[in-house]
Every structure is written in structure tokens, then in C-alpha cells.
Amino acid sequence: MSDKLSRNNKAYEAIKKRIMEVEYLPGETLSESRISEELGMSRTPVREAFNRLVQEGLLQSKGSRTRVAVISIDDLRQIFEAKQALETMIASLAAEKATDKDRKTMQEYIIRMEEMKKRIAAREPSFSYMKEWKPLNYAFHEDLYRIAGNSRIEQIVDTLNQFWHGWRNGIMRIEALSIRNINEHIDICAAIVEKDPKKAGEAMKEHLDSLFNTVKEVITTFGRM
């Protein structure tokens, strides 16, 4: 890989990471000069990264102004309709295909999630839901796709998730929503343990309906501020 391509990719990955982790807020204006200074590189790779991220929909450009994309409620609805069709299928397939070993893995997730609920309720000073849920949730979904045996759908859903995950951190700070989110994942795990495809699909649909309504409310409340 040439030095130019390497610099362009480094700028792209760095800016994308900051968008996904909400270091750059939805609607925030980004300038080439500011970002190049932050990243310690020239404006050219930053400009190329901006162009790429605009094409992917993570940045929006109007005239000379570039900002982090603000998702509309209609965009959100379309994304979650697609997610629901794909992820309910994945949950059902996982329940259908789960081996005894896979079912044991799901039982272990239930134990870990129940423990996390207790720690949230106890308000342990050293416990960070945001820090501990993220790797657990990631591992759970990786296992879900592995058991279902469909990495293609995983790639599609990952792309869809890019467009709304900027709101995730705000949602995760709300304790009541954290408990509800964990309970919904426990229901999915339990259905897979029971090898009940219908129940697993319904549990995933209920989770995604709940998540859509929560993200919609957050965007409506804070997205226009």
C-alpha cells in the first residue's frame, strides 16, 4: 500500500471511529483544518476521508460545510424495518440450529446478564454499564450470527447500524432502559436455549421495536437542539 493510501485510510478510520463513538456529535460541523490538526496530518487525507464518509452517509456536505450526519425519523424507520426482517430471521435460525454447546453458551450469557442487572440495581460505584455491556453485547451478537450460520446478514446489519449508533451512548446512560435492554436479550437467549425458533424471532422483534421507539424518542427530543 502506498504512503498516500495509508494516510488516507488512517484518516478515514480515525474520523469514522470518532463518529461511531460519539466524540463527534450528530450535527457537529467538522472542518478540514481542525481535524487535520487533531490527527496530526495534512488536510489532503482528511479531505479524502470526508469525501468517503459523505458517500457512506456518515457525514453530510452542503457547500463548504461538512457535518456529522443527523438521521431523520423516516431514515430510522427504514433502517429498523430492514434490521427487523434480517435479525428476526437470524434469531430464529440460531434457535433452530443451536447445538448443545451453543445452548450452553446462551445459558452462560443469561447468567452474565442477570449478574449485570444485579450490579446496576446495587449501584456499585466501580460498575460501568456502558463499559461492560459493550463487549458482552458484541460477543453475544457474534455468537448469534455464528450459530445461525450467516455472516452475509451480519455484514448488512453492521452497515445499517452505523447510521444510528451515534445515539447509543445517550440511551445507555438511562438506567431503566439498560435493565429493559438486558431483559430483552435474556429473552432471546432463553428462546435459543429452548430451541424455539418462533419464540426467538418474536423476542428479537420485541427488542427491535423497543429499541426503535427509544432511539426515535431520543432523536426527537435531542436531535433538533
**Domain end marker among 68, 84, 119:** 68
Residues 6+ apart with CB under 8 A from 77: 212
Structural domain for 59, as ranges: 3-68
Same-domain pairing of 50 and 82: no
Same-domain pairing of 93 and 188: yes
Same-domain pairing of 83 and 163: yes
**Domain end marker among 37, 68, 99:** 68
Same-domain pairing of 41 and 133: no
pLDDT band at 167 (very low <50, low <70, confident <90, very high): low
Put simply, whether the predicted model's pTM sits higher than 0.75 gets the answer yes
Q: pLDDT (tens digit, 9 = 90+) per residue, 84-142?
A: 999 999 999 999 999 999 999 999 999 999 999 998 888 877 777 778 888 999 999 99
Mean pLDDT of 217-221: 76
Which pLDDT score is estimated for 4? 63
**Structural domain count, the chain:** 2
For residue 170, is pLDDT > 70?
no
Q: What is the spatial distance between Cα 24 and Cα 79, in angstroms, rounded to a whole number? A: 22
Q: pLDDT (tens digit, 9 = 90+) per residue, 171-213?
A: 665 545 688 999 999 999 999 999 999 999 999 999 999 999 9
Which pLDDT score is estimated for 169? 59
Same-domain pairing of 53 and 30: yes
pLDDT band at 225 (very low <50, low <70, confident <90, very high): very low
To which H or E segment does residue 66 belong? Answer: strand 65-68
**Domain end marker among 49, 68, 87:** 68
Same-domain pairing of 111 and 193: yes
Relative to beta strand 59-62, strand 65-68 is: antiparallel
Q: What is the spatial distance between Cα 210 and Cα 114, in angstroms, rounded to a whole number? A: 20
Residues 6+ apart with CB under 8 A from 166: 19, 20, 22, 25, 26, 68, 71
Which strand ranges, in their side-by-side order, compose the sheet holding 29-30? 29-30, 65-68, 59-62
Q: pLDDT (tens digit, 9 = 90+) per residue, 6-24?
A: 888 899 999 988 887 778 8
Q: pLDDT (tens digit, 9 = 90+) per residue, 31-69?
A: 999 999 999 999 999 999 999 999 888 898 988 899 988
Same-domain pairing of 62 and 80: no
CATH number, domain containing residue 144: 1.20.120.530
Which pLDDT score is estimated for 123? 84
CATH number, domain containing residue 44: 1.10.10.10
Same-domain pairing of 139 and 104: yes
Same-domain pairing of 47 and 152: no
Same-domain pairing of 38 and 133: no
Q: What is the spatial distance between Cα 143 and Cα 71, in angstroms, rounded to a whole number? A: 29
